[in-house]
């Protein structure tokens, strides 16, 4: 017994030493923002830091960041801890401007994870690319979505409008707004990506659309594992996510066949992304034969599919929120209908649609309340100053879009739907970076103009023939976000009824 006492004492002292070291280390680790004199949300756990509710999937990421934003009124930024990593949430639109535009060289990297080894197909998406590769990929997309190309949108939409009308005329029950939106965007995105006809209102299943929905469910973050990986890529080896790699062959084959069709028909004027990429390469000196090389096909396929995925989801989601809102506010719908009925339905042009002031006000207010992406994540790549704070390379920055859009100091009665907030006079009274539904700066969503233009044209046609009504035999349900995902995804279907307009 006596001989064991010194050993027991040593063990006890050693354990006490380890506990002391662990305590001192944790105090130092979670004292990062205190040492920098930055207001912050304290860590509540050694494991998940400040993000307990996110870790437990109790709240959506957008509303979690809104809670932090609202808790530190008047501060330009707020520190918090994602697991053991200190991260910074911005509250001042002027500092947001510095991150997205003025100091862009220090924040050009989006803080999202992609498995480049296993997802060598998806990693051509400009939203996730890093270094100089994102510039090249984004340039390829923006060159295919110029104003001159987008002017063909009304003509493209008019081709699917008859099948849309048939669907609505034959549907007596309620419809789900997002599903209706994807019926439109799946066909339009396929047409503008590869130049193929793929009507979402057809009874035939679309394999392209099925893959797109898989992408939405995984990469956008509707699975818990992807949320953890986006917060900290350390979790990647545990889950080994792969978005669409196993579908690479399908997309490459689709791109190859579509390219062969463009070449064989001599179609040099198609506005689709694939043809625009083809024309750019031909102007640089490549030949059509060289474009059929497998390596070139893979590169073209990655860029085209990136556009398809982007156009499919966020456009449909924004359209569903607009439709649901119009059903809730019949006076707004009537005023908007009065505006669109002045347009020549049979010869609708994008220029005329873009000039409708009330359409712009209504849609802007919908995107304020329901931004497709509720926040942006940026990763600092080189030390810089933000509002007097030295931000170190490797730091993660959160730009809480939803929180800024619902800041009562910027938008009085923020939960109220009021299109007049976006009259020219009212817009000029606000900081331009207090409203960024598609981001801003050099890495702004490249498909923004396509999405906005498509939705406006569809609504312009739809309101001339149909009335968007509340769901039959159901009450309107408030839009409550799902507790997962980086997009604003409702936790319940948005039902409504679309009936032929009585003229």
Please report, in range form, the residues annotated as the binding site. Answer: 445
* Residue 473 backbone dihedrals phi, psi, to 5 degrees: 60, 20
* Three-state SS at 399: strand
Q: Give how far the C-alpha of residue 259 lies from the chain's centroid of Cα atoms, to the nearest Å.
A: 29
* Residue 144 near residue 276 (C-beta atoms within 8 A): yes
Helix (H), strand (E) at residue 87: strand 85-90
Task: Identify whether the C-beta of residue 437 lies closer than 8 Å to the C-beta of residue 311.
Answer: no
Structure tokens, 117: 């080894």
| Residue 248 to residue 356: CA distance in whole angstroms | 41
Contact 479, 370 (CB under 8 A): yes
100 with 433: CB under 8 angstroms? yes
> Left, alpha or beta for 14 (phi > 0: left; psi -120 to 50: alpha)?
alpha
From the number of C-beta atoms within 10 Å of its C-beta (0-12, 13-18, 19+), residue 474 rates as: exposed
Q: What is the dihedral of CA 165, 192, 133, 256, to 10 degrees?
A: 130
217 torsion bin: left (phi>0), alpha (psi -120 to 50), beta (else): alpha
Taking the C-alpha atoms of residue 205 and residue 213, their distance in angstroms, rounded to an integer, is 13
| Closest alpha carbon to 371 in 431, 423, 414, 307 | 414
Evaluate whether 154 touches 276 at the Cβ level (below 8 Å): no
Nearest to 404 by CA among 448, 427, 371, 445: 371
Indicate the annotated binding residues for heme: 445
Structure tokens at 284: 């640089």
Three-state DSSP at 329 gives: coil
Query: Which of these, 128, 110, 130, 108, lies nearest to 384 by C-alpha position?
Result: 108
Phi, psi (deg, nearest 5) at residue 249: -60, -40
Task: Taking the CA atoms of 308, 313, 318 and 322 in sequence, report the sign of the dihedral they define.
Answer: positive
φ, ψ of residue 244 to 5 degrees: the values are: -135, 20
Sort strands 376-379 and 495-500 into parallel, antiparallel or unpaired. Answer: unpaired
* DSSP class of 421: G
């Amino acid at each position: 017994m006596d001989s064991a006492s010194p050993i027991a004492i040593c063990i006890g002292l050693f354990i006490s030493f380890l506990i002391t070291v662990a305590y001192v280390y944790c105090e130092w680790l979670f004292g990062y923002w205190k040492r920098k004199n930055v207001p912050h949300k304290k860590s509540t756990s050694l494991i998940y830091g400040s993000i307990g509710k996110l870790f437990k999937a109790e709240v959506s990421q957008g509303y979690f960041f809104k809670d932090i934003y609202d808790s530190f009124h008047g501060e330009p930024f707020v520190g918090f801890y994602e697991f053991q990593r200190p991260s910074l949430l911005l509250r001042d639109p002027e500092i947001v401007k510095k991150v997205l535009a003025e100091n862009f060289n220090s924040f050009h990297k989006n803080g999202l994870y992609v498995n480049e080894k296993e997802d060598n197909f998806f990693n051509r998406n400009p939203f996730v690319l890093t270094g100089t590769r994102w510039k090249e990929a984004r340039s390829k997309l923006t060159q295919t979505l110029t104003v001159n190309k987008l002017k063909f949108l009304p003509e493209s939409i008019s081709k699917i409008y008859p099948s849309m009308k048939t669907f609505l005329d034959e549907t007596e029950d309620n419809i789900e707004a997002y599903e209706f939106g994807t019926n439109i965007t799946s066909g339009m995105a396929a047409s503008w990506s590869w130049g193929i006809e793929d009507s979402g209102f057809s009874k035939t299943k679309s394999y392209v659309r099925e893959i797109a929905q898989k992408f939405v469910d995984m990469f956008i973050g509707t699975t818990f594992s992807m949320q953890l990986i986006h917060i900290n890529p350390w979790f990647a080896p545990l889950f080994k996510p792969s978005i669409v790699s196993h579908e690479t062959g399908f997309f490459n084959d689709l791109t190859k066949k579509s390219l062969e069709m463009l070449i064989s028909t001599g179609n040099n004027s198609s506005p689709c992304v694939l043809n625009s990429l083809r024309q750019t390469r031909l102007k640089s000196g490549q030949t059509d034969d060289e474009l059929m090389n497998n390596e070139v096909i893979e590169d073209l396929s990655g860029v085209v599919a990136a556009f398809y995925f982007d156009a499919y989801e966020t456009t449909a989601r924004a359209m569903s929120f607009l439709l649901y809102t119009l059903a809730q506010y019949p006076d707004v719908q009537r005023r908007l209908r009065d505006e669109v009925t002045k347009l020549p339905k049979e010869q609708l042009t994008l220029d005329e649609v873009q000039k409708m002031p009330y359409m712009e006000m209504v849609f802007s207010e919908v995107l304020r309340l329901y931004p497709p992406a509720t926040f942006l994540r940026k990763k600092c790549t080189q030390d810089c100053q933000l509002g007097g704070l030295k931000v170190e390379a490797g730091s993660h920055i959160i730009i809480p879009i939803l929180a800024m859009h619902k800041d009562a100091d910027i938008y009085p009665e923020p939960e109220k739907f009021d299109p007049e907030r976006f009259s020219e006079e009212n817009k000029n009274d606000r900081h331009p970076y207090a409203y960024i539904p598609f981001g801003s700066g050099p890495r702004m969503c490249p498909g923004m103009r396509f999405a906005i233009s498509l939705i406006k044209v569809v609504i312009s046609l739809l309101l001339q023939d149909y009335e968007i009504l509340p769901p039959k035999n159901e009450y309107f349900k408030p839009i409550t976000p799902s507790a997962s995902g980086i997009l604003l995804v409702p936790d319940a279907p948005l039902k409504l009824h679309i009936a032929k307009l009585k003229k």
